[in-house]
Amino acid sequence: MPVESDAELRDVLGQETIAVVGCSATPGKDAHEIPEYLREHGYEVVPVNPYADEIFGREPYDSLTEVEEEIDVVDVFRPSEEVSGIVDQVLERDDVDIVWLQLGIRDDEAGERVEESGRRFVQDHCMKVEHGRLMD
């Protein structure tokens, strides 16, 4: 079952390093503003976007497989139909504990695969909204 309870969400939000797949270099877009909010609240944000040259003053990675840092959470800002492939990349890593799909993004089958691997899965929730509601 995907993470739903406030206690579980608080625990997930207690992590430190978040790789943001689909992180945008464009201010005003949710995929830029939400990771910026997370950075402002002390999270280490690792941008993943093969089409951007720089996000938050650093070069983004092209894919999760290239990320060198240890990742706690993968936050997904990509269409639902891309989630399965992103989960494939997550499952190749040993460090990722949680996959979080932003508001409006769902993939039950991919979520089952995440959970079967012993990791936690959040879908169709905004990380900024939940952080503001539960952590501030």
d(CA 53, CA 59): 6
In this prediction, residue 1 carries a pLDDT of: 81
Give the start-to-end residue ranges of the domains of the chain: 6-134
Structure tokens at 49: 């976007």
Q: Are strands 44-48 and 98-101 parallel, antiparallel or unpaired?
A: unpaired
The pLDDT of residue 54 is above 90? yes
Q: What is the Cα Rg of the chain in Å?
A: 13
- In CATH terms, 6-134 corresponds, of 3.40.50.10070, 3.50.50.60, 3.40.225.10, 3.40.50.720, to 3.40.50.720
Average pLDDT for residues 74-79, to the nearest whole number?
98
H/E element, 87: helix 83-91
pTM: 0.96
